[in-house]
Amino acid sequence: MALFSISGIRIAGMAACVPNTIYQNSDYKWISKKERELLIKTTGVKQRRLADDKTTTSDLCFTAAEKLIKDSGWNKEEIEILIFVSQSRDYPIPSTSCILQDRLKLSKKCLTLDINLGCSGYVYGLSVIASMMQCSGIKKGLLLVGDISTKHVSYRDKSAFPLFGDAGTATLIESSDDKAKIGFNLQTDGSGYDAIIIPEGGMRNHISLKSFEYKKISPGIYRHKIHLVLDGIKVFNFALSEVIPTINELLTSEKLTIEKIDYFILHQANLLINESLRKKLKLPKEKTPITIDKFGNTSCASIPLTIVSELNKQVRKEKLKFLLSGFGIGLSWGAVCIDLDSIICPELIEY
Partner 1 sequence: MDINEFIKKIEEEFSDLEPGKLKPESKFREMFEWNSINALILIALVSTEYDITLNAEDITKSVTVQDIFNIIKSRITK
Interacting residues toward partner 1 by CB under 8 A: 34-35, 38-39, 42, 159, 218, 232-234, 236-237, 240-241, 272-273, 275-276, 279-280
The sign of the CA dihedral 280, 229, 63, 334 is positive
Pick 280 or 313: Cβ nearer partner 1: 280
Q: Residue count of the chain, please give it.
A: 351
Q: How many CB atoms are located within 10 Å of the residue 306 CB?
A: 25
Nearest approach, Cβ of residue 277 and partner 1 (Å): 9
CA distances from residue 26 to 46, 93, 161, 293 in whole angstroms, order as listed: 7, 38, 13, 12
Pick 39 or 305: Cβ nearer partner 1: 39
Where does residue 134 rank: exposed (0-12), middle (13-18), buried (19+ CB within 10 A)? middle
Q: In what order do the strands lie in the sheet with 166-175?
A: 111-115, 79-85, 140-148, 166-175, 9-18, 349-350
* 315 in Cβ contact with 340 (< 8 Å): yes
Nearest approach, Cβ of residue 42 and partner 1 (Å): 5
Nearest approach, Cβ of residue 293 and partner 1 (Å): 17
Distance CA 286, CA 263 (A): 8
Pick 154 or 159: Cβ nearer partner 1: 159
Pick 113 or 221: Cβ nearer partner 1: 221
Nearest approach, Cβ of residue 273 and partner 1 (Å): 8
Pick 191 or 241: Cβ nearer partner 1: 241
Nearest approach, Cβ of residue 264 and partner 1 (Å): 17
Q: What is the DSSP letter of 315?
A: H
